[in-house]
Amino acid sequence: MRLKASLIRLFGTPHWPTVALTYGVGLAGGLAARRIGLPLPMLLGPLLAVGVLTLAGVRPLGHLLQAPQSFRMLVIPVIGVAIGGAARPELLDEAPHWLVSLGALGLFIPLVHLAGFRLLAATGRIDRRTAFYGAAPGGLVETVHLGEEAGADVQMLVMLQFLRLILTIFLIPVAFSLMEGHAVGSAAGAAVRGGALDPADVAVLIFAAVVGAVAGLRLRLPAGHMLGPLLLSGAAHVAGLTDAVPPGWMLAAAQVVIGTALGVRFAGMPKRRILDALALAALNAAVTMGGALLFAVNLAALTGQPVRAVFLAFAPGGLIEMGLIALSLNMSILYVTAHHLLRIVLAVSVARYGGPRIGGGP
């Protein structure tokens, strides 16, 4: 009885056959997205598949699609550990040459976030809290969580962040493909791999995930359940304790869980709001990518990096997808990855600490 009570407190009382079917839909969406070459397929595929069926009001087994949000919270540390795994010992040797652009990123993130927030709020289509968290240039999962805690419109917030991400990671690979004359990113077949896992690696990654999540939450770090594991994993990789990352199947499973959990949040969302979200996300994408291009043009000579590398490092797309494009174009993947790691931390930090100060009015 105690176990049953604990499970109810953790997961609620969902209709478990529907939950199983929902994750099956999410997995199918991820596999289909991977087959057609959609960026970040195991996250965006489930989100699209489950989101479309939820918006359509489909009721398999007599219930709307269901996915306990607690499952999402349990797998987020896996993503944090994987992102931290992009760090390498060479980072310490190359990083001093990146100080100018890393410092500029600290200016870029709050500027484009503020500009995007002001623009979205000025349309009058959404409240200020939703505009603020929806304009965050990074951290889809984290900013949705922070916005939910702050009382933002979660349905609209998920749409804004999802469309911000998908517009960026679709448009940038297309633009680079046109410029380079060949496919880039995931379409080019590039892959990022960690070292082989041995028992010591497993222990380090589990320590980073569990201790990082607990410490991050207790220290009240921004999105601590992800940032804590990210920081511990990054430190372990820079120190050379491991060069491994969570296996691909685990990372894919975590993304399916997260994408599915986000997709079910569209229940009851009016179709008209999707068009509103698309228009608002396009405005925000224009601000962030236009700002990234402006910073890249002015920073390239100071950093010794080509304009396209600086632009890629500042563009608010998925860390993995931006890294794959860098790999395809023979850019410094460490340079691009380091900036995206900092971008995520800065974006979530600005969202966390700026949110309570913007008010909640229309």
Q: What is the pLDDT along the chain (362 residues), one digit of tens a residue?
A: 444 444 444 445 788 899 999 999 999 999 998 888 776 688 878 988 998 898 888 888 888 888 887 888 888 898 888 878 877 787 777 778 889 999 999 999 999 999 999 999 999 999 999 999 999 998 777 788 888 888 888 889 988 987 887 788 777 866 776 666 655 555 544 444 555 688 999 999 999 999 999 998 898 776 678 778 988 998 998 888 998 888 888 888 988 998 898 888 777 777 778 888 989 999 999 999 999 999 999 998 888 888 888 998 998 877 666 766 776 676 776 788 788 888 888 998 899 888 887 765 55
Q: HEC profile for 57-78?
A: CCCHHHCCCCCCHHHHHHHHHH
Residue 31's nearest CA partner among 10, 19, 16, 45 is: 45
Cβ-based burial of 97 (10 A; exposed 0-12, middle 13-18, buried ≥19):
middle
Rounded Cα distance between 68 and 66, Å, is: 7
Q: Which residue has the tokens 């222990």?
A: 203
Residue 166's nearest CA partner among 339, 17, 334, 285 is: 285
Question: Is-above-0.95 flag for pTM?
Answer: no
Rounded Cα distance between 90 and 160, Å, is: 36
Contacts with 23 (C-beta within 8 Å, 6 or more apart), sequence order: 67, 256, 257, 260
Following DSSP, what letter does each residue of 110-154 receive, concatenated? HHHHHHHHHHHHHTTSS-HHHHHHHT-SS-HHHHHHHHHHHT--H
Task: Bin 306: left if φ > 0, else alpha if -120 < ψ < 50, else beta.
Answer: beta
Q: Are 65 and 50 in contact (CB under 8 A)?
A: yes
